[in-house]
């Protein structure tokens, strides 16, 4: 069985606003001739996101990577920063672009996030900050991370690229740490085509962030830092504003797919589904499955290939591990013996397609293929 129009099933599809409504916004932008530099739509989107996520201050960016780079500059982070190798490469790249040495610490087997128990051993006199990631929107152990940061006088910047609209025990996980960075890339749950944001807790910090993303301009004649150009434009902001109309509905649709996968795959030998922690209101943005070759019969990569033959394009988020790519593999902390769990998980993980417009016959097809690969093997 192939999808009706014969097109592949991607791991995600962007949630997009209604075209005609977007055209209306475009007309307004055209008429105003105000295209960028903190315009009407930009200001409105910052306000809407702050209200929706219940966070104090939002600074919009042209993408999440520049937001990460700027977050580090905002707090003047230098030297060494402790981070996870199990993330998208932009996490560590943001350190590299600031001339900061990444120090990789292994992840927890259960939650796949930076393991707080292993952070202290990685601290040196050069350590200035911790850069954890809420992988797949699953919250880090923020209490332990903050305790260590407080003891050693370190800053904490969360790469919260997957954590738009995740609440734990009733409050947003964007409250944790000194700064939080979001990505609004087309593959993320809330998208502005390309885009991102830094969430800050006080107005002075927001002001510094806003200077830094606009070349360092504090006013027409005062340039306070060698800032970058990372502004979100009006077209992106207008697109983002229209997303609020369908946000809740799309989340519910993803939740349904998520629950269907979990129900059907929970007893498949060799397929492990990491559970969500208690008290979590999730965004259901990714569906990671861990394929354990010994019990499943074929490797994760074989399954990936087989699904691809059926035009189902899953993704190995996150493989290769950041610590294993040429730029970073030379670091002491990149050694396999330092990161056994992250290396194991990177070999097992496969993210299945998950998005609001995924149809139930497609979900059923994916489930049956994942199940059938096991059965095939048992017949041999």
Ligand X SMILES: *Cc1c(COP(=O)(O)O)cnc(C)c1O
Tell which one of 146, 167, 183, 314 touches ligand X (CB under 6 A): 183
Nearest to 3, CA basis, from 359, 349, 379, 369: 359
Contact stretch for ligand X (CB under 6 A) within 77-85, 87-95, 240-248, 281-289: 87-95
Which of these ranges, 112-120, 159-167, 169-177, 281-289, lies near ligand X under the rule CB under 6 A? 159-167
Contact 212, 76 (CB under 8 A): no
Span 51-70, contacts to ligand X by CB under 6 A: 63-65
Does 11 engage in binding with ligand X (CB under 6 A)? no
133 near ligand X, rule: CB under 6 A: yes
- Please pick, from the candidates 73, 74, 83, 91, the single residue that binds ligand X as defined by CB under 6 A: 91
Q: Where are the beta strands (DSSP E) in the chain?
A: 9-10, 57-61, 80-83, 101-104, 127-131, 155-159, 167-168, 171-172, 179-183, 196-200, 271-272, 280-281, 287-291, 312-313, 349-352
CA distance 320 to 295: 23
165: left (phi over 0), alpha (psi -120 to 50) or beta: left
Interatomic CA distance for residues 172 and 164, integer angstroms: 9
The answer to whether residue 108 forms part of the interface with ligand X (CB under 6 A) is: no
Least distance (Å) from ligand X to the CB of residue 21?
24
Stretch that binds ligand X, among 7-15, 156-164, 245-253, 366-374 (CB under 6 A): 156-164
Q: Token pair for residue 34? A: 């105000």
**Residue 159 touches ligand X, criterion: CB under 6 A:** yes
Most distant pair of Cα atoms in the chain: their distance: 75
Compute how many residues bind ligand X; rule: CB under 6 A: 14
CB of 181 to ligand X, least distance (A): 7
Chosen residue from 161, 199, 307, 349 binding ligand X by CB under 6 A: 161
Q: What residue ranges bind ligand X (CB under 6 A)?
A: 63-65, 87-88, 90-91, 133, 159, 161-162, 183, 185, 196
């Amino acid at each position: 069985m192939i999808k009706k129009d014969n097109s592949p099933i991607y791991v995600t599809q962007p949630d997009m606003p209604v075209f005609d409504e977007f055209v209306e916004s475009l007309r307004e932008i055209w008429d105003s001739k105000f295209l960028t530099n903190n315009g009407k739509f930009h200001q409105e989107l910052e306000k809407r996101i702050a209200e929706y996520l219940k966070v104090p201050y939002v600074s919009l960016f042209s993408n999440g990577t520049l937001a990460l780079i700027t977050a580090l500059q905002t707090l003047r982070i230098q030297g060494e920063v402790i981070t996870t190798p199990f993330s998208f490469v932009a996490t560590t790249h943001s350190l590299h672009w600031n001339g900061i040495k990444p120090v990789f610490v292994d992840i927890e087997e259960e939650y796949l996030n930076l393991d707080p128990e292993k952070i202290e051993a990685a601290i040196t006199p050069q350590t200035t900050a911790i850069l954890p990631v809420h992988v797949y929107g699953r919250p880090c152990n923020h209490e332990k991370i903050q305790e260590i940061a407080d003891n050693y006088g370190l800053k904490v910047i969360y790469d919260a690229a997957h954590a738009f609209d995740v609440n734990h025990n009733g409050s947003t996980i964007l409250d944790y740490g000194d700064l939080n960075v979001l990505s609004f890339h087309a593959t993320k749950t809330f998208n502005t085509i390309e885009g991102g944001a830094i969430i800050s807790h006080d107005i002075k910090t927001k002001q510094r962030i806003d200077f830094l993303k606009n070349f360092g301009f504090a006013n027409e004649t005062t340039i306070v830092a060698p800032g970058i150009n990372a502004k979100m434009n009006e077209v992106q902001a207008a697109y983002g504003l229209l997303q609020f109309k369908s946000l809740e509905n799309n989340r519910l649709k993803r939740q349904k797919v998520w629950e269907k996968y979990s129900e059907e795959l929970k007893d498949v030998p060799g397929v492990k589904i990491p559970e969500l922690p208690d008290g979590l209101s999730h965004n259901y943005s990714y569906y990671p499955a861990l394929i354990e070759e010994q019990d499943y019969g074929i490797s994760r990569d074989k399954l990936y290939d087989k699904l691809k033959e059926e035009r189902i394009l899953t993704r190995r988020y996150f493989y290769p591990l950041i610590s294993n790519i040429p730029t970073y593999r030379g670091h002491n902390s990149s050694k396999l013996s330092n990161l056994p769990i992250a290396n194991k998980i990177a070999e097992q993980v496969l993210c299945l397609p998950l998005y609001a417009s995924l149809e139930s016959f497609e979900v059923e097809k994916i489930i049956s293929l994942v199940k059938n690969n096991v059965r095939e093997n048992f017949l041999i």
